[in-house]
A and B are shown apart, each in its own frame.
Chain A
Amino acid sequence: DAGVIQSPRHEVTEMGQEVTLRCKPISGHNSLFWYRQTMMRGLELLIYFNNNVPIDDSGMPEDRFSAKMPNASFSTLKIQPSEPRDSAVYFCASSGTGDSNQPQHFGDGTRLSIL
């Protein structure tokens, strides 16, 4: 079975450029989560969606970050303009419906380096 698919795997770009990260959740999952992981701050939730609707974006650092989920099988996280402090690994995860103990399954992540 296909897991959560993220692209690109790596991205290196200069500060000021727009960065778009993509995620395809596991088919049938109705919740999608974007996380950022750094050595200093660990794994932080940025935003999550239920049934394509953003539920909690309190973790989004600032207005330079935006996320969309136009349909159940695709989401994007955009940074514009990018800054060196945005360098991190960005993970997308999804979870399904059912009982209260639905775990989240992570994609391979996007390693982002802003020069």
Chain B
Amino acid sequence: RKEVEQDPGPFNVPEGATVAFNCTYSNSASQSFFWYRQDCRKEPKLLMSVYSSGNEDGRFTAQLNRASQYISLLIRDSKLSDSATYLCAVSLRGNEKLTFGTGTRLTIIP
């Protein structure tokens, strides 16, 4: 089993819709969780950290489910500019190595 798994997609979603991604991790001792966004031929950029109680940043909501060992990302009212690959990342402790999922490719359709 891979340490971090994501559905690679692609997800083709109409503009304005809500879309959700999940990411599962295998090590129950994992402590830090993040969502990154990567545009074509660009570097991964931090979208948001994922906190135990869940957190929201505008149209984006991240959740952590420790019992089932997954994190989720919800995008509401999707925009064309949301089209990108979304990578989840997990580490055992802060400042240690991140293990990335392979990414979920999202395309927002006008």
- Could you tell me which A residues sit within 8 Å of B by CB distance? 30-31, 33, 42-43, 45, 48, 50, 55-56, 91, 95-109
Query: A103 near B46 (CB under 8 angstroms)?
Result: yes
B97 at interface, CB cutoff 8 A = yes
Q: Knowing A43-B100, A101-B32, A101-B51, say if A30 contacts B43 (CB, 8 Å).
A: no
Give B contacts to A, CB under 8 Å.
Answer: 31-32, 34, 42-46, 49, 51, 87, 89, 93-103
- Most central of B34, B42, B98, B99 by chain A CB within 10 Å: B98
Docked Cα-Cα span, A109 to B95, in Å, equals 20
Q: Does A45 contact B98, Cβ atoms closer than 8 Å?
A: yes
Chain B residues near A43: list those with CB within 8 A: 44, 87, 100, 103
Query: Considering only CB atoms, which chain A residue lies closest to B44 in the complex?
Result: A106
Which of A45, A99, A107, A109 is close to B94, meaning CB atoms less than 8 Å apart?
A: A99
